[in-house]
Structure 1
Amino acid sequence: DIDGKRIFDFHGNSVHQLGHGHPKVVDAIRREMETLPFCPRRFANATATALARRLAESAPGDLDKVLFVPSGAAAISMALTLARYATGRHKTLSLWDSFHGANLDAIGGGGGALFRRGLGPMIPGAEHLPPLNLARRFFGDDRPFERFADYIDYALEVQGDVSALIAEPMRWTTVEAPPPEFWPRVKDSCLRHGALLIFDEIPSCLARTGTLYACEQFGATPDILVIGKGLGGGIMPLAAILAPSRLDCAPDAALGHYTHEKSPVACAAGLATLDVIEDEKLIERAKEIGRRGLERLQAIKARHSVIRDVRGLGCYFGAEIGGDDPAGLAERLMYRCLKRGLSFKIGGGNVVTLCPPLTIPFEQFDEALSIFEDAVSGLES
């Protein structure tokens, strides 16, 4: 901070899989800046082409086409536009309380009240469903996700002209995953009703969850996969959409057209990021940190009643705070931890989200969780 105190960054806006300023990414950026610092968007360049090829080779299913953009919100816009071109329809289904970016079309396609408040009418055709984490509230305790999937199927059928359903495969802000049978059922409904399935993996892509892409753990390959954040190595802004060749249907349309959409410098950072993930075995490391972290958090929960629940997927964790004022307690806990040298984000009002770099040494990871438990103890006293 400004006083020189070192802080564990367990927030990082989900861009810091490799930590801050990984030397291999810095070197790749420096070399590309000396080779080709900018390329007009009408041209391809070797670095962007190489990264597109690497992503297509690593992607699940038939996602073999790649388009780059400078930000996740722009990638969402491009995915929604592509869905319209591909289907000839304009409606979308998404989930209330979701966040897909701060552009007007992403806000309309999302469902976060904070971003919609005071803006007036949204983009026409944006329909909404309940959030994943409230499935039991709206569909009961008896097979809630089965009933939710049935409701999605009904919404697709009754609307009849939905271009796409857009969602995160796991609700990122509260670290809550649906059961494994949920997304395959939804994907089947999309297929039967002619809608595309778009997964927003902007925060969850590239090894964070213990697989290169989170959707690999949920049994469904989307028609369009949106990635970003950590793609630029935590240094360069870079995002992308991945889609199958059958959606390569808009060569003459205005799809993209961002000045820095194929930035060779950003793509060099992306290539270096993939190299580091592979060379340093960060997928395996995310699984190991996930195992150790969840075990430690469960032990902390057992000792402290203020923690209502803990959960995680790979190297990403959530600790749900209970008590009489869960949101207030979570905020106090956040500032107690920050004062002690641990930074994180609160999601859903009362969920502490812990998002460490995949490169963090185990002893530092353990130290950060000790800071967390000390702050919890102080909160209870």
Structure 2
Amino acid sequence: MLDNHELKREGDINFSSLRTEWMTQLSAVSIDRIEADERAYMRQSMSTPCLNSIVDAEGCYITDVNGRKYLDFHGNSIHQIGYKNPYVTEAVKKQLDELPFIPRRFTADIAVKAAEALINKTISKDYKVLFTPSGSAAVGLALKIARKWTGKHKVISMWESFHGAGLDTIAVGGEYVFKKDMGPQMPGMLKAIPFNAYRNLLGSHSHEAVATFCLDYLKYMIQHEGEIGAILLEPIRATDTHIPPISYFTRLRKICDEYGILLIFDEIPTALMRSGRFYVHQNFDIEPDILVLGKGLGGGVIPQAAVLTRTQFDCAGDISLGHYTHEKPALGSAAICATIDYIDDLNLQEQCISRSEFVRGKLEALSAKHLCIGDVRIAGLLISIELVKSRETREMNEELAERVLYYCLEKGLSFKLAGGNCITWYPPLIVSEEQLTFAVNLLDEGLCKYS
């Protein structure tokens, strides 16, 4: 069993006095469903015991077995366009009737259309696509492409990162809770300290100074280690929304080009307009060599992931990179096309930017009121509120964060904790100002009650 400290990095804590207290107030129906779940499913950290049992998910809300609704600002990062989106459900139903499956070695119009739709959302339009059934599989495939092209197996990724739970992806990930007891992992996986860790270490230094320090060290690693084939990172850290400056990415791109290293961006939880741009890296005026997508790609209905690779790296015709049963996914392709159409037709980019400015104003006012708010970090509708014991020392206030989580759950707002003390909100792009106001007001109430 992991202790609380180990569990506080990636997500919420399963075993704490507050979690036990939450379980005691659930109804008999909820408890019965949770116990049935535990009898049927293997347990794992951050997943079991479940918080509750639900019967519906629509729009921005989930509904539990007792008919109670929760505004869902978590959603496992899949509900950019809301749950049960009519564009997606109708497209998938239509595809089921017309062509539910495309056997490997064949293609179909819907599969080509989905790939082209993703390529057309890039700036250069200079990419090719492979589909995979999961984000973890997509990251593994990206690493294989980098090895094939460069002939080098070493990869630099970041401490505290998450890129999937497979044996290959935990090697490049930085979360201990996924590696514990797993034994030897892929060789050549090197870790750099991420921008957010340097920022905390350097305290009052500017973002630009921290970016320079970060990349000086990264370049030192490359020069002294040698044989680096790829650098893998999240352009915006998903779980606690750390946002490096443009200068960080401009220089990172130059370093990769200088040393013949492929730059891989994992945008699995953050792409599809959540940052205010369709792809996160578009906020930073560069393009990666390989882009990995997933989660919301299937419109909150179909498990779907993808790898976009620069056309020049289409180099693996003599090997099987993925060879997945669903490598040309009929239903997933229909969901991808419907998701993109919905984002475009409803102009969700403009709405995301507008809602982002609205909630930023609300949270900045809240930060002025509550000294326990150490930082508010926002990119589009990727939002993190960091709770501290002191703004001077930036000491994490993990207990306050957990108390506020359960207070908000009791009042009908679901979200995720990250890093132990960060309240992380990922509302759908369809969220209203009224719903954002409801969430901010609940946060205010919780902080007044417990801080």
Q: Same fold (TM over 0.5)?
A: yes
Which residue of 61, 78, 86 corresponds with 2:124?
61
Q: Report the CA distance shift for 1:94/1:264 in structure 2 as closer, same or farther (over 3 A).
A: same
User: Matches of residues 155-304 of structure 1 in structure 2 within 5 Å?
Assistant: 155-304=221-370
- TM-score relative to the length of structure 2: 0.82
Q: Distance in 1 between matches of 2:333 and 2:140?
A: 20
Moved over 4 A (4+): 137-140
Aligned: 1:329 with 2:329: no
**1:10·1:343 contact (CA, 8 Å) conserved in 2?**
yes
User: Matches of residues 336-347 of structure 1 in structure 2 within 5 Å?
Assistant: 336-347=407-418
Q: Report the CA distance shift for 1:289/1:184 in structure 2 as closer, same or farther (over 3 A).
A: same
Q: Distance in 2 between matches of 1:130 and 1:247?
A: 28
**2:195·2:210 contact (CA, 8 Å) conserved in 1?**
no
In structure 2, the residue matched to 1:130 is: 193
Q: Report the CA distance shift for 1:325/1:241 in structure 2 as closer, same or farther (over 3 A).
A: closer
Q: Distance in 2 between matches of 1:299 and 1:309?
A: 12
| Cα shift at 1:340 | 0.4
| Cα shift at 1:346 | 0.6
| Cα shift at 1:14 | 0.9
| Cα shift at 1:137 | 5.0
| Cα shift at 1:368 | 2.3
SS at match of 2:417: strand
Q: Distance in 2 between matches of 1:368 and 1:131?
A: 30
Q: Deviations over 1:158-191 (max 9, x none)?
A: 2221110000001111111111100111111111
Which residue of 153, 173, 182 corresponds with 1:119?
182
User: Which amino acid is the alignment partner of residue 311 of structure 1?
Assistant: R
Q: Distance in 2 between matches of 1:359 and 1:156?
A: 43
Bigger relative contact order (CA 8 A; separation at least 6): 1
Q: Distance in 2 between matches of 1:62 and 1:194?
A: 22
Over the residues paired in the alignment, what is the CA RMSD in angstroms?
1.4
**2:396·2:420 contact (CA, 8 Å) conserved in 1?**
no
In structure 1, the residue matched to 2:114 is: 51
**1:156·1:190 contact (CA, 8 Å) conserved in 2?**
no
Number of residue-to-residue matches in the alignment = 380
Unaligned ranges ≥5, structure 1:
none
Q: Report the CA distance shift for 1:63/1:109 in structure 2 as closer, same or farther (over 3 A).
A: farther
User: Which amino acid is the alignment partner of residue 260 of structure 1?
Assistant: H
Aligned: 1:76 with 2:142: no
**1:29·1:269 contact (CA, 8 Å) conserved in 2?**
yes
Q: Distance in 2 between matches of 1:62 and 1:105?
A: 29
**2:355·2:432 contact (CA, 8 Å) conserved in 1?**
no
In structure 1, the residue matched to 2:438 is: 367
**2:194·2:214 contact (CA, 8 Å) conserved in 1?**
no
Q: Distance in 2 between matches of 1:378 and 1:262?
A: 52
Which residue of 382, 388, 391 corresponds with 1:316?
382
Unaligned ranges ≥5, structure 2:
1-63, 390-394
Q: Percent identity?
A: 42
SS at match of 1:250: coil
